[in-house]
Chain A
Amino acid sequence: MTELSAHLPQFQHGQLTENFPDTHLSNTNDNSERRRHDNSERRRNDNPESETNGQPQNNIQQVVEQDEEEDEELTLKYGAKHVIMLFVPVTLCMVVVVATIKSVSFYTRKDGQLIYTPFTEETETVGQRALNSILNAAIMISVIIVMTILLVVLYKYRCYKVIHGWLIISSLLLLFFFSFIYLGEVFKTYNVAMDYITVALMIWNFGVVGMICIHWKGPLRLQQAYLIMISALMALVFIKYLPEWTAWLILAVISVYDLVAVLCPKGPLRMLVETAQERNETLFPALIYSSTMIWLVNMAEEDPEAQRKSKNSTYDKQAPASQTRNEDAEADDGGFSQEWQQQRDNRIGPIESTPESRAAVQALPSNSQTSEDPEERGVKLGLGDFIFYSVLVGKASATASGDWNTTLACFVAILIGLCLTLLLLAIFKKALPALPISITFGLVFYFATDNLVQPFMDQLAFHQFYI
């Protein structure tokens, strides 16, 4: 039964679209807002002085100069907090994946491959294997590219319904089907007896709550938890169904692709970001993980008090689109229309929205003049990033001879890569691909640790030497 159901996803994958993660962190529009904010604040501060010393001109000039520095300050000051806000979910996802891989043997058994990777790696010669894996990787990457371009085209021509539908179907699949398989395997591993009715009830509840949380509204923590869970599920599927060399090759190529797609002027992702910005919308209901709520609280224009009341740190930023929190992502199906997240969270709103803000969901495109409280600025990371990080760490723990050492090394490498990426984000303030640096570090450390450090540590442990 399991064998059969295991084969199903392969066929289903054929029908579903696979879009890959382009994950970018970005930081748009931040400057202008902050500048405005700083301006207003400074002016408030400076005004009494300007009256006394009678040199308003100087003050304003100073204001402008200092604004720039303050921009940087604010960015970097909140940098550490944001990094941690991202560390925690990435760590959680990786921990879940590693724990599953270590305990449930299903995900390390070779049960066949996806139809996207038709060439097998059980060949006789090394050369043949290399060739096969290169072909596999090429096919996979081209599928991803095609999907991304399709997505961009759909977005450009405003076929929102199609995109919505696609995302909903994929999240349905992920939430119900994959978690059913996962649950089944976990029960098998721990030899827990369970009847179908209970399982059906549990999966149904899990799935429905997940759909609501992700696509609509729900508590922030719950949404984050769901996003982490589906990223983990997706990563597990990849780990299971991708043969070794193919997996490493794909990881490498996809980080290159990410780099290219985001930074090149003609890259699909970049076009997507720009289109979204032109239209002042949020990138669509996508697959992004956000560390705080993105509420659209533009009604602040009319009602600053209500907004202030609703949460301690109301932070309303310009108007690019209303992005309701729920429109935040889900990672999708076998393919993932992962959305890369670009916008450095500009639109952080209160954590719990008031009924009024909920009503005012569709943003007014005008720039609101409300003062922002920059405390709760958050960062967004695409779910594809989560997935690929977890794939890397999961593969490391599954197939490495160094076992935990390798896993730990890859983990630290990925976290450091994430740190560096966020640092770059703070410096450049625009959409950045989150994959390349981390994956590069991760790959380097994986291969190095597995081949070099492992024998060394083994010998040391054997003789009980300590370094």
Chain B
Amino acid sequence: PAFGLFLFTIARDPLRIIILIAGAFFWLVSLLLSSLIWFIAVKASDPQDERLQKGLLIFGVMFSVLLQEAFRFLYYKLLRKAIEGLVALSEDGCSPISIQQMAYVAGVGFGLMSGAFSMINLLADALGPGTVGIHGDSQLYFLTSAFMTMVLIFLHTFWGILFFHGCEHRRWWEIAAVVIMHLTVSGSSFCNPLYVGSLVPSYLLMAAAAAWAYLLSGGSAQNLRRFLLCKW
């Protein structure tokens, strides 16, 4: 579905593609830095102690979440500057792309990259022979991974919109809400393989974020109804 989003909404306009790739790049850099930190931490610690390793991993994840949000903020700053440049350059004095569109595209960029990184090795392995969960792990590994990835991609998209909106209107609580949501989702994934603990809250949060982002972007229940009725 995320790829479909990409095709329908982004692939038309070259500017959006660039913003998308740049967004993916920023996410990548944040991942790089966070894994650097984790790596240093691991090297500095005892490789035998499993609980410690797991603890370090959790710490790494949290840190990474924070870094991702920080990079989202940086990206926002960059896009602000870019928008000013574009406005100055365009013929009719208004930017060819609005900050909300940029927010959306940036969110998709982050999401796609994170999703790709999470899933792609899995997919490659899935092509090969083997049985899922043969060692007593969950048999639903692939399925849940797929769903989790999808929810994460969508969440990133919505968070992008919310985040940028918060930055635009200087509502710090919105930004804080995004960060907390992200932390919660990542945290819930710690309950895996107890999938109920992770998937369900994530989906609920996603629905909430979706509704919020929709409202922020100017939609409303009325619009929605009109849209659905028209089409049908």
Interface residue A187 (Cβ < 8 Å from any Cβ of B): no
Question: Are A416 and B21 CB-contacts (below 8 A) given A404-B121, A463-B192?
Answer: yes
Contact between B39 and A457, CB atoms less than 8 A apart:
no
**A127 to B210 Cα, complex, angstroms:** 57
Contact between A419 and B21, CB atoms less than 8 A apart:
yes
Cβ of A459: which chain B residues have Cβ within 8 Å of it? 53, 57
> Which size class do A's interface residues fall under?
35 or more
- Look across to chain B and name the residue whose beta carbon is closest to the beta carbon of A454: B35
Contact between A456 and B60, CB atoms less than 8 A apart:
yes
Question: Are A448 and B32 CB-contacts (below 8 A) given A416-B22, A464-B145?
Answer: yes
Cβ of B148: which chain A residues have Cβ within 8 Å of it? 464, 466
Which secondary structure characterizes the binding site on chain B? helix
Contact between A412 and B89, CB atoms less than 8 A apart:
no
- Look across to chain B and name the residue whose beta carbon is closest to the beta carbon of A102: B124
Cβ of A412: which chain B residues have Cβ within 8 Å of it? 21, 24-25, 28, 113
Contact between A465 and B36, CB atoms less than 8 A apart:
no
**A72 to B28 Cα, complex, angstroms:** 31
CB neighbors of A among B32-49 (8 A): 32, 34-36, 38-39, 42
Which secondary structure characterizes the binding site on chain A? helix
Interface residue B122 (Cβ < 8 Å from any Cβ of A): yes
Question: Are A453 and B32 CB-contacts (below 8 A) given A84-B17, A404-B120, A419-B18?
Answer: yes
Cβ of A405: which chain B residues have Cβ within 8 Å of it? 117, 120-121
Contact between B21 and A403, CB atoms less than 8 A apart:
no
Nearest-CB distance from A463 to chain B (Å)?
Answer: 7
Interface residue A413 (Cβ < 8 Å from any Cβ of B): yes
CB neighbors of B among A432-467 (8 A): 445, 448-449, 451-453, 455-457, 459-461, 463-467
Interface residue B189 (Cβ < 8 Å from any Cβ of A): yes
**A81 to B91 Cα, complex, angstroms:** 16
A-B contact count (CB 8 A): 114
Nearest-CB distance from A219 to chain B (Å)?
Answer: 23
- Look across to chain A and name the residue whose beta carbon is closest to the beta carbon of B148: A466
Nearest-CB distance from B62 to chain A (Å)?
Answer: 9
Question: Are A456 and B38 CB-contacts (below 8 A) given A409-B28, A419-B22?
Answer: yes
Contact of B32 among A83, A449, A466 (CB under 8 A): A449
Contact between B186 and A465, CB atoms less than 8 A apart:
yes
Cβ of A451: which chain B residues have Cβ within 8 Å of it? 39
**A409 to B149 Cα, complex, angstroms:** 18
30 contacts between A and B (CB under 8 A): A73-B89, A73-B90, A73-B91, A77-B89, A87-B17, A87-B21, A405-B117, A405-B121, A412-B28, A416-B22, A451-B39, A452-B39, A453-B31, A453-B35, A455-B42, A456-B35, A456-B39, A456-B60, A457-B121, A463-B54, A464-B141, A464-B144, A464-B189, A465-B190, A466-B61, A467-B31, A467-B34, A467-B61, A467-B65, A467-B114
Starting from the known contacts A84-B14, A404-B121, 4 additional A-B residue pairs (CB-CB under 8 Å) come to: A77-B90, A87-B21, A465-B190, A467-B31
